[in-house]
Chains A and B, each alone.
Chain A
Amino acid sequence: MGLVTGQGYWTPLIWLALAAGVTALAWLFWSRGRRTYKAGTEQDMPFLSGERLPEGVHVGSHHLYWGFVEGLKPILDRLVGFHSGVVVDYVAWTVVLLAIALVVVLT
């Protein structure tokens, strides 16, 4: 059922068995921990840096990875500029691709 990859092999069923074993182990450790959690008390409430958060706040997905995007801004800005949305540019890039292909094939 597995596959031979040339340098090893990959068998999802064994992987699943291992994953189940690790999960069981994690559950075992967790179940031996302290039992001070009480449902319905303020332990259930969301806090951020000690501040009580209001209910029903949704962090929009475009706020995730803000730092990552900020760090890569020079590259990403250039990439966005490259996808200008002008159909003439699309055609020009296709011609560039054609030129690359012709140059590689002819040399």
Chain B
Amino acid sequence: MGNFAFLAAMLLVGIGLWALVSRRNLIKLAIGLSIIQSGVNLFLVSLGYVRGGVAPIYTYAPPGVPMVLPTPQALTLTAIVIGLATTALMLAFIVVIYRHRGTLDAGKIRELKG
């Protein structure tokens, strides 16, 4: 059971990759990337988990109880913020593309090719 979180994270990454290569709608592409992001974030935060650990706040932690690692949580927070920025930018581009072309089908948005 200890590796369940890792398996779930890899499953999310796999689902996201599958969405990326099998769907042709731009919004669904962005969703696929978000799912990969969630998978990676889950992986990061579960790296620091200690069974029975408490939140790593020194002042409030009861003595003698193990704490979970604080670094992966900081990493995950940073990664979530970055993911927010990339998703927002991508969706903004999708809106602009839709205004110009009137479609979200990746197969039709190919003015740049060759």
A–B touch (CB < 8 A): the answer is yes
Contact A88 B106, CB 8 Å, known A95-B17, A95-B21? yes
A95-B17, A95-B21 given; A88·B29 CB < 8 A: yes
> Are B114's CB and A85's CB within 8 A?
yes
Interface residues of chain B: helix, strand, loop or mixed (majority): loop
Closest to B28 in A: A88
Contact between A86 and B107 (Cβ–Cβ < 8 Å)? Answer: yes
Judged by DSSP, the binding face of A is helix
Which residue in A84, A85, A88 is a CB contact (below 8 Å) of B111? A85
What is the interface size of chain B, counting residues whose CB is below 8 A from a CB of the partner? 15
Chain A residues contacting B107 (CB-CB under 8 Å) are 86, 88
Contact of B110 among A86, A91, A92, A95 (CB under 8 A): A86
A47 CB to closest chain B CB, in angstroms? 37
**Residue of A84, A86, A87, A88 contacting most chain B CB atoms (<10 Å):** A88
Give residues 53-107 of A contacting B (CB, 8 Å): 80, 83-88, 91-92, 95
Q: Is the CB of A86 within 8 A of B21?
A: no
A95 to chain B, nearest CB (A): 6
Q: Which residues of A contact B110 (CB under 8 A)?
A: 84-86
Which residues on the A side are within 8 Å of B106 (C-beta)? 86-88
